[in-house]
Structure 1
Amino acid sequence: MYTLDGGPRGGALVTEAARTHEEVIREIGRWGTCDPSVEALPFLLSPRVQAVVRDLQSTYDIRFESVSALHRIAVDKHLSPLLLGITEGRPVTAAELDALAAATRDDPVQSAFSPLGGVDAPHAVARERIHLLKSLWKPFAAWWRSCFTGDHSASAPMTDLWRLYIPFGQWIVREKRERRSGELFMVGFNGSPGAGKTVLTNALAVVLNHLLDAEAEGQAVARSGDDWYLGKRDRDVLRRRGYDPGPPGIPNRALPGTHDLAWLKRNLLEMERSTRQSAIRMGNFDKKADDQPTGADRYFEVRGKVGVFLFDLWFAGAETDVDPGKLREGLRRRVAENLRAWGSVFARMDALWAFDWPPFEQMVWEREAQERLVEQRRGARGMSHEHLRAFMTYMTERSWDWQTTSPIPPDRTITFRAWRDTNHRMIAVQRGGRAS
């Protein structure tokens, strides 16, 4: 129900596809056992490999998780030592520069952020990114450590920094300067709960605040729509209108109608008008308390000019021109009614990133992983497994009919469509139907 594409193949095509898949999988395994070499990159970062991994995913092949993990490990093994050497000041050889330049053109992640006409001078692009990597790695690594208290290897974020965050950040800055020079550039991020939207937006903010001229262009701010949830008392009133997950103790937030939309719209206007002297008080919702905080934590305050706003919301960009009258009285009609009010917010977005939506069971598993991270950071879980499943059913099954309303945005509104593995690493990024 939730996937955006994919489907079975038949006849002789299956045999030919299976043969190609086996060849690629064997080659991935071979490079996974070799010593680090730049010679591995043209294959590992090729559209051919990406196509096979994507096909395994879209056809729900049981090999997908193991093959994508093997590919991820192989990429890190061969790319990370080269990038680490760059950050340590080791000169880049001609062969290494050639490989990095080719990847800017061919890698199904990096190439999505190239100008629509393609990369005219890939070696120049690679040299610019080498320069950025040298200056960005330390602050990026420090941010990563501050966000994750678990045992995360340095190589994983380094390859992500090179393949995703730097080129995506460069794309945003380029588009802002062309289309919103001196103004606020807003990027929305759509994806199922647990998809990795918040990590992506906050990592991008680190990169953008290195690329932007803070005085002239302003800073990058990453915030989640969750921060503007209505307080618990206001949401309790909504239970009588259908906003009730069922079992006691489960929060009724998340759906359209449970946000303080007036506050969010006011903050958007304040960001658009912001100057170096501005102080903007944004929402700062406390999920553990399931309420807007009081006292010193009441607001998330942003001081200074805001040039880029990275806004993650699980139904960002959803179609808002819907007819609630097509739905029977109840929660789905209430959601449709309140979804319409988001139209002006979604229309203000200059670009939209959309994660591919996984099946329901994977969403539950990924949301469970979020709860474990909360437990690791704060010492206590937010919801039990049973409550979490009921909450996810409330969010996805009971609130949308997936025809009149859907949290998945239509292709014409999507700038970038992204596919990831079960460890939140990007498999591929492709342009959507939205013109830049």
Structure 2
Amino acid sequence: MLGRRAVLSGDVVRDEDVLDEIDRWSRSEPSLDAPPFLLSAEAYAALRALHGDDDRFTAGSTCHRAAVERHLAPVLRDIAEGRPASADELRMLAETTRVDPVQAAFGADPSPDVVLERLRLLASVWTPFSRWWRDYFADTSDAPVVDLWQLYLPFARWIVREKRSRRPDGLFVMGFNGSPGAGKTVLTTALTVVVDQLLDVATEGRAIARSGDDWYLGRADREPLRALGYDPGVPGVTNRSLPGTHDLDWLLRNLAELERSTPGSVVRMGNFDKRIDDQPTGDDRFFEVRGKVGVLLFDLWFAGARTDVDPMVVPDGLGRRVAEHLRRWRPVFERLDGLWAFDWPSFERMTREREAQERLVEQRRGTRGMSREGVRAFMSYMVERSWDWRTTSPVPPEQAVTFRAWRDTNHRVIAVQRGGRAT
């Protein structure tokens, strides 16, 4: 047992009792009474209380997901595929929206009329979303309809509202920060599918998702950096990733081009190939974006980090070089209209997630990534040796964050809170 108590909504709730209730629902017959409890602040708080004990956190999260899939997923999937919602289902979804802290973070309205309109949107985006999901994860049969309803759809609607309010005729840029393997690329790519369904592409432009990784310097340009400390110390392990290993001039040029994009535009963006650890040549040299772009979802593992640190206060070596180059990222970070930041896990968990990322790459591309030893050396270089952590850090300050998110060991978002960034 956990022996912890959580104070929620003025009441004292025993986390272990909440977890027992989650377990009971995971084994019971489907019921409309279950989702409002399973997606409540109490349920998510009990899961987060397990954070720090990976075995119990994984077991609790797996049990919770099984319960949600049993009681909520079939209802949403049927509605997404065209069946009208019953009155009881509509009441359940309205109540679930009201108590769910994830949906609430994006301002999701729990009134029945608004929920009914969201269900119409769910049905309209379900086909392109599920098609994308099957293509991206070749071994996954079912797209996560609960994630679409609970996270992707309300987040996409928030992005579109903000774009129309703040950049109606221009480019809205949303940044995504998180440790390696956190799931930034999956999140941003999935969001573009949904955002594109909500935008008037002809007048507002389309949405694209790009990673800062696409603008890494080529291998030949990074090789001289090894003498400056940009070296994991293991033969064959790449030295990319840190500030100082990107072609920032190219990235800034592309941002300016996207700002000015029109229906007839062609923007040639970076397209780094991690399989060869180099910028490609030939037909794959660029990632070409044609037409007007209205929303850019930009993921970078140190997005939004403080750039105003005096490098001279950092001990000489790799950490100082990183601080020097980090200052050059200021115009990129200042251009962000919002920032999503995943909570950073322990170094050991980051390393395991990076290993899982290598396995996913191998599965999707059929090529072997870094060995386990290589991943550990790379992560040490990337996280432990490169940052002072007292004066420099890849974690953004609270005032830079729009949404701060927590996830379970299966990359499912289990909490979202508004950060300190003004909107």
TM-score by length of 1: 0.93
Deviations 1:356-381 (A, max 9, x none): 00101111111111111111122221
Rounded Cα–Cα distance in structure 1 between residues aligned with 2:81 and 2:164: 32
Report the CA distance between 1:18 and its aligned residue. Answer: 11
* Structure 1 residue aligned with 2:136: 147
Percent sequence identity over aligned pairs: 63
Letter in 2 for 1:378: R
SS of alignment partner, residue 423 of structure 1: coil
* Structure 1 residue aligned with 2:92: 99
* Structure 2 residue aligned with 1:4: none
C-alpha distance 71-181 of structure 1, shift in aligned 2 (>3 A): same
Verify the 8 A CA contact 1:36 1:81 in the aligned structure 2: no
Pair 1:68-2:61 in alignment: yes
Pair 1:47-2:41 in alignment: yes
Rounded Cα–Cα distance in structure 2 between residues aligned with 1:153 and 1:371: 21
* Structure 2 residue aligned with 1:22: 16
Pair 1:109-2:102 in alignment: yes
* Structure 1 residue aligned with 2:290: 303
More divergent stretch after superposition (96-105 vs 417-426) = 96-105
**Structure 1: 4+ residue segments shifted above 4 A:** 8-13
Counterpart among 245, 249, 252 of residue 262 in structure 1 = 249
Pair 1:282-2:269 in alignment: yes
* Structure 2 residue aligned with 1:3: none
Report the CA distance between 1:11 and its aligned residue. Answer: 11
Letter in 1 for 2:164: R
Report the CA distance between 1:55 and its aligned residue. Answer: 1.5
SS of alignment partner, residue 345 of structure 2: coil
* Structure 1 residue aligned with 2:332: 345
Please, which runs of 5 or more residues in structure 2 have no aligned partner?
Answer: none
C-alpha distance 10-427 of structure 1, shift in aligned 2 (>3 A): closer
More divergent stretch after superposition (295-304 vs 374-383) = 374-383
> For residues 14-413 of structure 1, what are the structure 2 equivalents within 5 Å?
20-57=14-51, 59-60=52-53, 62-114=55-107, 119=109, 122-150=111-139, 152-154=140-142, 157-413=144-400
Verify the 8 A CA contact 1:103 1:110 in the aligned structure 2: no
Verify the 8 A CA contact 2:6 2:15 in the aligned structure 1: no
Counterpart among 402, 405, 410 of residue 423 in structure 1 = 410
Report the CA distance between 1:85 and its aligned residue. Answer: 1.3
C-alpha distance 360-324 of structure 1, shift in aligned 2 (>3 A): same
Verify the 8 A CA contact 2:6 2:13 in the aligned structure 1: no
Report the CA distance between 1:422 and its aligned residue. Answer: 0.8
Rounded Cα–Cα distance in structure 2 between residues aligned with 1:202 and 1:378: 18
Deviations 1:82-112 (A, max 9, x none): 0111023222111111111122222121111
TM-score by length of 2: 0.96
Letter in 2 for 1:80: A
Rounded Cα–Cα distance in structure 2 between residues aligned with 1:56 and 1:396: 25
Rounded Cα–Cα distance in structure 2 between residues aligned with 1:78 and 1:320: 46
Rounded Cα–Cα distance in structure 2 between residues aligned with 1:416 and 1:358: 17
Verify the 8 A CA contact 2:5 2:14 in the aligned structure 1: no
Q: RMSD across aligned C-alpha pairs, in angstroms? A: 1.8
Rounded Cα–Cα distance in structure 2 between residues aligned with 1:10 and 1:380: 45
Letter in 1 for 2:158: W
Rounded Cα–Cα distance in structure 1 between residues aligned with 2:298 and 2:26: 37
Rounded Cα–Cα distance in structure 2 between residues aligned with 1:102 and 1:304: 41
SS of alignment partner, residue 223 of structure 1: strand
Rounded Cα–Cα distance in structure 1 between residues aligned with 2:54 and 2:250: 45
Verify the 8 A CA contact 1:188 1:313 in the aligned structure 2: yes
Verify the 8 A CA contact 2:4 2:14 in the aligned structure 1: no
Please, which runs of 5 or more residues in structure 1 have no aligned partner?
Answer: 1-7
Rounded Cα–Cα distance in structure 1 between residues aligned with 2:28 and 2:197: 36
Report the CA distance between 1:128 and its aligned residue. Answer: 1.5
Deviations 1:229-271 (A, max 9, x none): 0000000011111111111101000000000000000000000
Report the CA distance between 1:37 and its aligned residue. Answer: 1.6
SS of alignment partner, residue 126 of structure 2: helix
SS of alignment partner, residue 177 of structure 1: helix
Report the CA distance between 1:401 and its aligned residue. Answer: 1.0
More divergent stretch after superposition (376-385 vs 318-327) = 376-385
Report the CA distance between 1:220 and its aligned residue. Answer: 0.3
SS of alignment partner, residue 321 of structure 2: helix
* Structure 1 residue aligned with 2:422: 435
Rounded Cα–Cα distance in structure 1 between residues aligned with 2:356 and 2:259: 36
Rounded Cα–Cα distance in structure 1 between residues aligned with 2:264 and 2:5: 66
